[in-house]
């Protein structure tokens, strides 16, 4: 049940995010656990261009219904997208 004003959030598979990130020219894509993401995981997608990273983050914010962060670190612009990991049983 949704209450008036409640945000709808969508969970997207990590593999799908990486496929699209590659099409956008991402330099790398990996996942990590996150205490802040509603899914418990984020896809970390690194871009050389701040403009492309910002556009990618804006598009994914619209898709998942959740603010997507962009950080500048180690010479790259990294976008953190909440994601689902296919096989959580084999994470260890």
Q: Is the pLDDT of residue 16 over 80?
A: yes
Q: Which residue has the higher pLDDT, 58 or 8?
A: 58
Residue 92 forms part of a structural domain: no
Q: Give the structural domain span for 53.
A: 24-86
- CA dist 3 to 6, 8, 20, 66, 78, Å? 5, 10, 32, 17, 33
Assign 45 a pLDDT band (cuts: 50, 70, 90): very high
Is residue 75 classed exposed, middle or buried when 0-12, 13-18 and 19+ CB atoms within 10 A define those classes?
A: exposed
pLDDT at site 89: 45
Residue 78 belongs to some domain of the structure: yes
pLDDT over 60 at 13, yes or no? yes
The answer to whether residue 49 sits within a structural domain is: yes
14 inside domain: no
Give the pLDDT score at 5.
46
87 vs 81, more confident: 81
Q: According to the model, what pLDDT value does residue 30 have?
A: 92
Q: How many domains does the chain have?
A: 1
Give tens-digit pLDDT for 50-63: 999 999 999 988 88
Q: Would you say residue 2 lies in a domain? A: no
């Amino acid at each position: 049940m949704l209450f008036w004003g409640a945000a709808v959030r969508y969970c997207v598979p990590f593999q799908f995010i990486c496929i699209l990130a590659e099409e956008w020219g991402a330099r790398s894509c990996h996942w990590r656990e996150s205490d802040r993401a509603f899914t418990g995981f984020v896809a970390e997608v690194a871009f050389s261009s701040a403009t492309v990273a910002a556009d990618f983050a804006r598009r994914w914010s619209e898709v998942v219904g959740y603010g997507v962060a962009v950080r500048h670190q180690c010479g790259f612009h990294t976008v953190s997208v909440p994601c689902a990991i296919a096989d959580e049983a084999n994470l260890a």
